[in-house]
Chains A and B, each alone.
Chain A
């Protein structure tokens, strides 16, 4: 799975947690999940679990703590998939 595919999957995963889906339309790797997309910080846990299920990987707490932007998530997932 290439980076662009992972990015698109991330946008799909985030969609239910974004109050205004329009915010996702112009999303880039630099889009901040909490600040730009206004995702409730408590729900990050659910986003991580969904990533684990979607990509069949395990994201430990230290890796999860690194995820601030969509790009951070893509990088973590890409590493796990290698």
Chain B
């Protein structure tokens, strides 16, 4: 029998709240973390709103000494705080410099775009001014693709695999799937899994010029992120980070760890950018195969899924996503699971999205509630038949056992996870 994998710790830095208690309150209240950014207006962005963790400078100063702070750009700051929070939440101490290496624990922590603020504000101007010699020693570690996991590996003295994946907007979800497999393969006892993304106009600019982000709600930021709505007008860019501590069940039980949820299974694939799929749109067959693959890996029937935490970004793709879920699960509107989008409150946190939303999923299973999917009072006509399955207000739901979570990314990549409420055997 394959080893079972459970979640024993979580940390989250989200636009609508830092820390599990605050984040949970935000989810229950349907609290939006979306704000107007004058800087984006100055820069003549079409979309001048975004989701950015608030008050984070104070937070990071309370976690790290001056020496470490000099190396923390947004992306690495979010993952570092999330990782420390998750580690402590799992019942571990943050090790000292002379403590031994933990060979049994690793990390897969990715990002979508990464240290763009460092590239734009430090590297490009200094190199162009002929000041390369004066950039100092902290640039590479902040922009290398593995900058997130590298920083966390050092903070926590991790000795197992420490790496960073990147699968665009599916990064966070893919990291959790990969970590699940590594523990199942018997190669690690526990893995930190998650993702992060900085908040920078230089990250968001490309999406703005593609006209895929919300341009019509600059004067009503909290209404701007509208997944599944008829007035959805593109996603709202977000930033933040989240880390989940995944642990082999017996190891978790032997140390008396608190268990949030079990990860029953997962799958990743790619639609090959064929059959309707492209660099930016998913091949429906690929999405459905990914969802079915995750269910098969979890060993459950599609009927057992109580709720879906969708990718659901608030673009034209939402109706086809709901259709894909319906086809993959072979469940029509009459017996469809509940479906919601955490992005309605926090925007689309890109490489962090799957991780932050997975923390939301595990919290909802652990505490027995479903958060509202806000800003879709006017459900999109293509989803109207499913409207009664979209929570418009927080729902207490202690009988809920299974939530399926998916993420889809540029490159036509897909990831799906099946989470189960933890019940003592």
Residues of A within 8 A of B (CB): 16-17, 19, 42-46, 49, 52
Contacts and interface: CB of A to CB of B under 8 A. Distances in A.
A46 B137 CA distance: 6
A43 B97 contact: no
B375 to A, nearest CB: 45
A52 B65 CA distance: 24
A16 B136 contact: no
A45 B66 contact: no
B66 A46 contact: no
Scoring A17, A44, A45, A52 by chain B CB atoms within 10 A of each residue's CB, the highest score goes to A45
4 tightest A-B CB contacts, nearest first: A45-B137, A42-B137, A46-B136, A16-B66
Given A16-B67, A16-B70, A17-B67, A46 B97 contact: no
B97 A19 contact: yes
B138 A46 contact: yes
B2 interface: no
Interface of B: 65-67, 70, 97, 134, 136-138
B137 A43 contact: yes
18 contacts: A16-B66, A16-B67, A16-B70, A17-B67, A19-B65, A19-B67, A19-B97, A42-B137, A43-B137, A44-B137, A45-B136, A45-B137, A46-B136, A46-B137, A46-B138, A49-B134, A49-B136, A52-B134
A9 to B, nearest CB: 18
Nearest to A61: B133
Given A16-B66, A43-B67, A45-B137, 7 more contacts: A16-B67, A17-B67, A19-B67, A42-B137, A43-B137, A46-B138, A49-B136
Contacts of A45: 136-137
Contacts of A49: 134, 136
A60 to B, nearest CB: 10
Contacts of B134: 49, 52
Contacts of A52: 134
What DSSP secondary structure best describes chain A's contact surface? helix
A55 B92 CA distance: 45
Nearest to B66: A16
A62 B336 CA distance: 71
A70 B66 CA distance: 21
Contacts of A42: 137
A10 to B, nearest CB: 17
A50 B137 CA distance: 12
A52 B136 CA distance: 12
Contacts of B66: 16
Contacts of A19: 65, 67, 97
Contacts of B138: 46
A17 to B, nearest CB: 6
B339 to A, nearest CB: 48
A45 B139 CA distance: 12
A16 B136 CA distance: 14
B150 to A, nearest CB: 13
A78 to B, nearest CB: 22
A43 B70 CA distance: 11
A42 B136 CA distance: 9
A16 B137 CA distance: 14
A43 B136 CA distance: 8
Contacts of B70: 16
A45 B137 CA distance: 6
B139 to A, nearest CB: 10
A44 B138 CA distance: 11
A16 B64 CA distance: 12
A6 B97 CA distance: 31
Nearest to B134: A49
A16 B67 CA distance: 6
A77 to B, nearest CB: 17
A44 B137 CA distance: 8
A44 B136 CA distance: 9
B369 to A, nearest CB: 44
Scoring B67, B97, B138 by chain A CB atoms within 10 A of each residue's CB, the highest score goes to B67
Contacts of B65: 19
A16 B70 CA distance: 10
A75 B66 CA distance: 28
A62 to B, nearest CB: 14
Contacts of B97: 19
